[in-house]
Amino acid sequence: MPFNTLSFLLFLIVVFSAHRIARSWRAKKLILLAASLLFYAAWNPPFILLLLAITVVTWWLVRLVQLQESEAIRKRYLVASVFVLLIPLAYFKYAAFVLEQFVAALAVAGVQFKPAPFDVMLPIGISFYTFHALSYTIDVYRRQTLAPASLLDFALYMSFFPQLVAGPIVRASHFLPQLDTPRTVTGQQVGWGLALFVLGLFQKTVLADTIFAPVVDQLYNSPQSASAWDAWAGVLAFSGQIFCDFAGYSTCAIGLALCFGFIFPLNFRSPYGAIGFSDFWRRWHISLSSWLRDYLYIPLGGGRGTTLRVGRNLMVTMLLGGLWHGASLMFLFWGGLHGTYLLLERLGRRHLRLIGRYFSSAGMAVATFLVATLTWIPFRASDAGNALAVLSALARPGFPDLPPGTLFASSGCSLALVILHIWGRDRTSGGWFLAIPRPAQTMLLGICLIGIFLVSGGEPRAFIYFQF
């Protein structure tokens, strides 16, 4: 049930009305839990059993972790809980990939092996709710948060529908305390939440799906015939598409949560205005990058130790971050590139400061954006051959095949997006909207609604991060 469908709008109206009518806080939470499970079951009902099983077993094991005094026993329960969480993820998301690499390795060794077809459907959102549960488990073990006494509260944390299938990755320490006391929802919160929902939906349906996606699809479907005009328009358009698609979803999720009185953390903060890749990862998919930092990079040793050790920590973190996005060598390569950038940036910190004296912050941000844009190529490409064909097209002479209007709209929106991010890099996210006069806010939301209406109809595109 994607956000950009009429069925979701009807679902939201019913759930919001029932939530407002309910008298007790427990009844409100039960309504949200039932609605969240129905929301998830709308994709594939049997997978709701997997989500429920992971929820119940994790809740039980983590309570045992908290109750134990012996550190050895606590660690055993921690390992058991992590094992329970990672096995489904490994099976559904990575088993076919591992089998494929194993067959390829045998072929290199001269051994021909043809296994039975391994075709398993990936449960939607499994990477997100697994990371929710992992952070909760580790935080309880570290005594940084307490296990909730109520299975209802934990189940709602795991399945709350705004962020269930594509984030943000909300920490238990952030969300569970909000369930302790009734949330009083004001009219202003509902109004701001709906405004965020409209702005996010506009990013998704109008910018990502209508303006950027056709240009991206044309390039990656036939890069051999693309001129440099088309190729550059396509790679720039993908930077716009993936941001507007994912940031649009996150904005919708934050807005929907606010309508029910819950505060979600910011997930994007002008990432295309970043200066360098350390700054980029402090601004892009913040809930994932901070998760990887706190539960992988720092436990590995973080920035402490020799250059070799720090480089290892960075590469392991970014390679696993790449694999989190998908079981593919292309995602692994994309993560490795970002790990390399972070390492080179760390090694050349002194030289970068000298360069910064001669170039403006805007120039440094544009340079970072261009490298990030080129690095999106293996992320979007279907395979290495497709990625190399796109790279070759960037230098191919010729006239554009794209219609002038399409080329102008896509390139203009890409440029506007970068300018907006550079302008907003040191400003509070969303502050620009609050700063403009109320009539201008109303007019902007009206334009967004008209745009959403004009592009509605037909088969809606799923959010890109649903596949992760």
Closest CA to 156 of 67, 86, 18, 257: 257
Q: What is the distance between the alpha carbons of residues 310 and 306, in angstroms, rounded to a whole number? A: 6
Closest CA to 223 of 213, 234, 212: 234
CB 400 within 8 A of CB 227: yes
Closest CA to 126 of 464, 461, 466: 466
| Predicted local confidence at residue 416, as pLDDT | 94
| Predicted local confidence at residue 353, as pLDDT | 64
DSSP codes, 288-299: HHHHHIIIIIHH
| Predicted local confidence at residue 431, as pLDDT | 63
Collect the ranges in the chain with pLDDT lower than 50.
none
Residues labelled catalytic: 325
The domain spans of the chain are 6-177, 189-467
Element (H, E) at 48: helix 47-67
Contacts of 342-345 with CB under 8 Å at 24 or more apart are 342/277, 342/278, 342/281, 342/314, 342/318, 343/310, 343/311, 343/314, 343/315, 345/276, 345/277, 345/278
122: helix, strand or coil: coil
| Predicted local confidence at residue 316, as pLDDT | 95
Whether the model clears a pTM of 0.75, i.e. scores above it, the answer is yes
Q: Which two tokens stand for residue 193?
A: 């939440």
pLDDT digits (tens, 9 = 90+) for 363-406: 889 999 999 999 999 999 999 999 999 999 999 998 888 899 99
Q: What is the distance between the alpha carbons of residues 253 and 256, in angstroms, rounded to a whole number? A: 5
Backbone φ/ψ region at 265: left (φ over 0), alpha (ψ -120 to 50), beta: beta
Task: Supply the DSSP symbol for 81.
Answer: H
